[in-house]
């Protein structure tokens, strides 16, 4: 929003390829709370810079021994790997919510109709990050490096190392930018009002200045 106002004020197009910083992403997601709370929420989203291509993901999972297909035909599929070892441990521990989240992830990535694992969306990325935090590195389960390797396919975790100080600095910079943008909008409005008034035959320097002042205060 802030950058859009800035770009429009100068008559240029906003670059859609610019990556959002943490503050901008928090605004987009509608996150609220203290700076520390928002940093925690952003980290827990587990977002990456771009979606992960499933062809690359399945190759990586197989290469790292996380998920390997043993049998594939029209009636049956069988898999092995540390991801399934993790599922077995969760089932044994009666971790029903975690099992359900893992099943949804497995169903999504093994569905041939799907093309990406969209880790730019908290709905997909957050459960995967939660699995990393809760189970990564435990015996027979995927290691933290395994989870990180998956994230690297999407450009890496965006906010895993984000600090409160970094977020606060971004917020302050954005607030300053917003203040400048607001002044530019007012300047443009005042100039347009002054120019419009000056085109009137009966206008005077006093009425032109008054028109600009009125537009500035609107």
Q: Once rounded to an integer, what is the mean pLDDT over residues 180-193?
A: 93
- pTM beyond 0.85: the answer is no
Q: What is the mean pLDDT of the chain?
A: 89
Residue 160: per-residue pLDDT: 94
Are 189 and 5 a contacting pair, CB within 8 Å? no
Q: Once rounded to an integer, what is the mean pLDDT over residues 117-122?
A: 95
Are 157 and 148 a contacting pair, CB within 8 Å? yes
Q: Once rounded to an integer, what is the mean pLDDT over residues 132-149?
A: 94
- Asked if residue 1 is part of any domain, the answer here is no
Cα–Cα distance for residue pair 81/78, rounded to 1 Å: 11
* Residue 178 sits in the same domain as residue 138: no
Residue 207: per-residue pLDDT: 94
Question: Does residue 192 have a pLDDT over 60?
Answer: yes
Strand, coil or helix: what is 189? helix
Domain that holds residue 205: 164-217
% of residues, the chain, pLDDT over 90: 81
Which of the listed residues 127, 152, 177 is the one where a domain comes to its end?
A: 152
Q: How confident is the model at residue 37 (pLDDT cuts 50, 70, 90)?
A: very high
* Residue 85 sits in the same domain as residue 35: yes
Total domains present in the chain: 2
- Asked if residue 94 is part of any domain, the answer here is yes
Q: Once rounded to an integer, what is the mean pLDDT over residues 76-105?
A: 90
Residue 217: per-residue pLDDT: 85
* Planar angle of CA 99, 78, 107, nearest 5 degrees: 40
Structure tokens at 137: 């590195």
Strand, coil or helix: what is 48? strand
- Asked if residue 176 is part of any domain, the answer here is yes
- Asked if residue 204 is part of any domain, the answer here is yes
Residue 73: per-residue pLDDT: 62
* Residue 137 sits in the same domain as residue 194: no
* Residue 212 sits in the same domain as residue 186: yes
* Residue 105 sits in the same domain as residue 126: yes
């Amino acid at each position: 929003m802030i950058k859009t106002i800035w770009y429009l004020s100068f008559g240029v197009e906003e670059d859609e390829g610019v990556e959002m910083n943490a503050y901008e992403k928090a605004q987009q997601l509608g996150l609220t709370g203290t700076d520390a709370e928002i940093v925690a929420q952003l980290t827990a989203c587990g977002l990456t810079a771009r979606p992960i291509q499933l062809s690359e993901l399945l190759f990586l999972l197989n290469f790292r021994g996380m998920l390997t297909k043993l049998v594939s035909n029209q009636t049956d599929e069988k898999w092995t790997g540390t991801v399934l070892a993790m599922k077995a441990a969760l089932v044994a521990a009666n971790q029903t919510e975690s099992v359900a989240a893992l099943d949804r992830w497995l169903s999504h990535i093994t569905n041939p109709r799907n093309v990406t694992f969209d880790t730019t969306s908290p709905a997909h990325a957050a459960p995967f990050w939660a699995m990393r935090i809760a189970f990564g590195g435990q015996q027979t389960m995927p290691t933290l490096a395994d989870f990180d390797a998956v994230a690297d396919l999407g450009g890496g975790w965006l906010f895993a190392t984000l600090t409160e100080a970094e977020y606060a600095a971004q917020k302050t910079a954005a607030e300053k930018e917003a203040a400048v943008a607001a002044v530019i909008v007012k300047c443009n409005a005042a100039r347009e009002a002054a120019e419009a008034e000056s085109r009137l035959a009966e206008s005077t320097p006093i009425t032109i200045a008054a028109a600009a002042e009125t537009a500035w205060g609107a």
